[in-house]
Amino acid sequence: MKIRIIPIGLIKRFADEREIEVEAGLTSRKLIADLGIPAELKMVSFVNGTRIDLDNELRDGDEVRLVTLVTGG
């Protein structure tokens, strides 16, 4: 199946925007690990414009935006 990755912010250091072929059953959490993005970067995943849990399975044709959470005071 194919998905489109759109990295936002700091994630651009680790991944480029592109369409990739992946195995069925892939989750955003596994995608993040496969891309070599450090686990200490706290992220959220937006799939087709909707925020989803990182453990939800992706589907063919999904557009996945990976965004780092920013905190401050």
What domains appear along the chain, each with residue ranges and CATH number? 2-68 (3.10.20.30)
What confidence category does residue 73 fall into, taking pLDDT thresholds of 50, 70 and 90? Answer: low
Taking the CA of residue 17 as centre, how many other CA atoms within 13 Å lie in the half-sphere pointing to its CB?
A: 7
Q: How many CB atoms lie within 10 A of CB 29?
A: 15
Smallest Cα–Cα separation from 37: which of 4, 2, 68?
68
Q: What predicted TM-score, i.e. pTM, was given to this entire model?
A: 0.88
Per DSSP, 57 falls in state: B
Residues linked to residue 19 through DSSP beta bridges, in sequence order: 4
What confidence category does residue 9 fall into, taking pLDDT thresholds of 50, 70 and 90? Answer: confident
- Percentage with pLDDT > 90 across the chain: 78
| Mean pLDDT, residues 38-54 | 92
Alpha helices in 1-73 (DSSP H): 28-34
For residue 33, which phi and psi values (nearest 5 degrees)? -65, -45
Q: What does the pLDDT read at residue 1? A: 96
What confidence category does residue 41 fall into, taking pLDDT thresholds of 50, 70 and 90? Answer: confident
